[in-house]
């Protein structure tokens, strides 16, 4: 019996060694702070536009370049510095909506501070740009920007409440 047990152990010990193979490629860990796609400027047709949208801006892109807003669209930005910056926004007030609702005023807010209120007496492409006090800005938190239009246009086809067309916005030096 002892011989059979020894023979069994001997036979199991004669198995071949596994094949040799190189160790896997070593890579650095991907953990760590996540890169924030939110920056100081956004085009509505850009790859990170959705990350900038807080509320009241259509998620669907129109004509490959712009988006409709509601009455109080809000965007968020991140800044690396706060000195000497201007806020800018390119928007449009389509003639068809302008003919029905007339002149409009848009109030521009930065972190809750009223930057300016602009009255537009004609439709078409508009460019807003104004210096922002550095005291209103931070580098360690999101900057919230609101552009509130005083009158929305109600689309006859579906009753959608539309503000203006937004193409791009952000902070420039």
Model confidence over 115-143: pLDDT tens digits?
Answer: 999 999 999 999 999 999 999 999 999 99
Task: State how beta strands 67-77 and 53-57 pair.
Answer: antiparallel
In the numeric block, the tokens 């890169």 are attached to: 35
| Residue 5 to residue 162: CA distance in whole angstroms | 87
Q: Which CATH number fits domain 41-172: 3.40.920.10, 2.60.120.260, 2.170.190.11, 3.30.450.30?
A: 2.60.120.260
Q: What is the mean pLDDT of residues 92-97?
A: 92
CA 146, 118, 85, 125 dihedral sign is positive
User: Distance from CA of residue 67 to its chain's centroid?
Assistant: 13
Model confidence over 23-75: pLDDT tens digits?
Answer: 665 555 455 455 578 999 999 999 999 999 999 999 889 999 999 999 999 99
Q: Token pair of 23, please?
A: 């160790």
Residue 97's pLDDT band, with cuts at 50, 70 and 90, is confident
């Amino acid at each position: 019996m002892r011989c059979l047990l020894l023979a069994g152990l001997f036979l199991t010990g004669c198995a071949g060694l596994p094949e040799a193979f190189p160790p896997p490629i070593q890579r650095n860990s991907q953990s760590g702070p996540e890169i924030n796609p939110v920056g100081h400027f956004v085009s509505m047709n850009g790859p990170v536009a959705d990350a900038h949208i807080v509320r009241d801006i259509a998620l669907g892109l129109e004509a490959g370049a712009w988006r409709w807003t509601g009455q109080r669209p809000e965007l968020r930005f991140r800044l690396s510095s706060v000195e000497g910056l201007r806020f800018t926004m390119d928007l449009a007030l389509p003639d068809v909506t302008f003919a029905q609702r007339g002149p409009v005023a848009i109030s521009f807010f930065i972190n809750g501070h009223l930057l300016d209120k602009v009255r537009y007496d004609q439709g078409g492409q508009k460019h807003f740009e104004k210096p922002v006090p550095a005291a209103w800005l931070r580098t360690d938190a999101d900057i919230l920007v609101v552009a509130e239009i005083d009158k929305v246009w109600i689309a006859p086809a579906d009753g959608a409440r539309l503000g203006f067309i937004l193409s791009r916005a952000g902070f420039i030096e």
